[in-house]
Amino acid sequence: MNVPFFNYASRYAEDREKIKDIVYQVGISDNFILKERVVELEDAIRQYTGAKHVIAVANGTTALTILLQAMGVGPGVDVLTPAFSFISTASTIALLGGTPVFVDVDPLTGMMDPNDLERKVTPASKVVIPTHLFSVMADMESIHEIAQKHNLVVLEDSAVALGARQQGAIAGIMGNAGLYSFFPAKPLGGIGDGAVIVTNDDELGRISRMLRNHGQDGITRFYHHLLGYNNRMDETAASYLLHKLRRFDDLLNKRREIAGLYNEAFKHLAPMIQVVTDAHEERVYYTYVIQAERRDELKEFLESRGIETQIYYPTALPLQPAFAYLGHQAGDFPNAEAITGRSLALPLYAEMPSEHVQQVIIAVVDFYARVNVHA
């Protein structure tokens, strides 16, 4: 039996008729972009998270761009960002003319290391981007302390963390601003790209709202206060997300249940496998990522049993060819680089059949049993 990493067919199966209806209703409405369904979604996310301002945009990457621009990032400005992350957390800084200053990560959690952050702050540093990845959150308390000491604005990259909490506080609004992505693979995955910016800061909210729509204020059309973007959410995207938000907590709970089974099965395999398991109830399991010894062999073994896995992320950001101009060398970010050689994402999605979960567990346990015998 093949075990896919994600299964979009099962994910969207129950919405088949709803999606057809949404596309038709929007198609006959004359209202395609940034209209009442988008406003309704913004209200719903406001209620779900408690954020004061919610601004719907076209994708998470340009949500980051808009926020960085609203925070004053441009030439001559440094932004502290994790060395282990998705490309957007660094490319957006560079594309605005700012300089990404990479910070190494904690060797176990893979999230920004506050000690290295303290070391890396430069006189030109203005913003720090703590990023939450997989199901793990950055250490926001320590990062806040450092941010306050150095007068840094905190842009929380919570693209994958809608619904997550840290000691009760809600991911996305723990810093000055955050975002949630609705790319189809994300826990609240839409039917295409989409995202929202969230902030409790009136000025960041006001500027972000203008930047997403060519710098207009939403009152006077064709009057441009700022040079902005065409980065707006479609009505079809908003309508589907509103529909799915109603069952979002159930979906998160199902993911959490599967992750709980993995956690239980793999705890005996430490230190060959390391997983961050604390605060399980507060986590959003976007993906289930382990740090594994003999990762590449494990991946091949799972493949031979029909189990699909992914590597998030195979290369540390400072060593990506796109950042060669910054002059970083192998060895500059030891923890991030070590994690790129150990991290492996196992299949996990809300609709995953329990036989598939068992199949993954049996195969992983079997692999390490064989390795031990032959060691």
Ligand X SMILES: Cc1ncc(COP(=O)(O)O)c(C=O)c1O
Question: Mind telling me the catalytic residues?
Answer: 186
Determine, following the binding rule CB under 6 A, whether residue 343 of this chain makes contact with ligand X: no
C-alpha span between 85 and 161 (Å, rounded): 14
C-alpha span between 213 and 230 (Å, rounded): 5
Q: What is the DSSP letter of 112?
A: B
Number of residues counted as binding ligand X (CB under 6 A):
16
Determine, following the binding rule CB under 6 A, whether residue 68 of this chain makes contact with ligand X: no
Determine, following the binding rule CB under 6 A, whether residue 59 of this chain makes contact with ligand X: yes
Instruction: Report residue 6 as tokens.
Output: 């994600």
Among positions 160, 241, 284, 307, the unique one binding ligand X when judged by CB under 6 A: 160
Nearer to ligand X, 131 or 199 (CB): 131
Determine, following the binding rule CB under 6 A, whether residue 88 of this chain makes contact with ligand X: yes
Nearer to ligand X, 59 or 213 (CB): 59
Determine, following the binding rule CB under 6 A, whether residue 339 of this chain makes contact with ligand X: no
| Residue 276 backbone dihedrals phi, psi, to 5 degrees | -85, 120
Per-residue interface string for the shown chain with ligand X, residues 7-46, x marking contact by CB under 6 A: ----------------------------------------
Give, as ranges, the residues between 193 and 232 that touch ligand X (CB under 6 A).
193, 195
C-alpha span between 337 and 318 (Å, rounded): 10
Of 148, 106, 108, residue with least CA distance to 128: 148
Q: Position of tokens 């099965």?
A: 265
Of 306, 282, 286, residue with least CA distance to 348: 286
CA dist list (Å): 50 to 24, 129, 251, 354: 32, 21, 20, 34
Scanning 73-81, 86-94, 111-119, 324-332 for contacts with ligand X by CB under 6 A, the matching segment is 86-94
Nearer to ligand X, 238 or 269 (CB): 238
| Residue 128 backbone dihedrals phi, psi, to 5 degrees | -125, 140
Among positions 6, 84, 86, 248, the unique one binding ligand X when judged by CB under 6 A: 86
Site residues for ligand X per CB under 6 A: 59-61, 85-86, 88-89, 131, 133, 157, 159-160, 181, 183, 193, 195
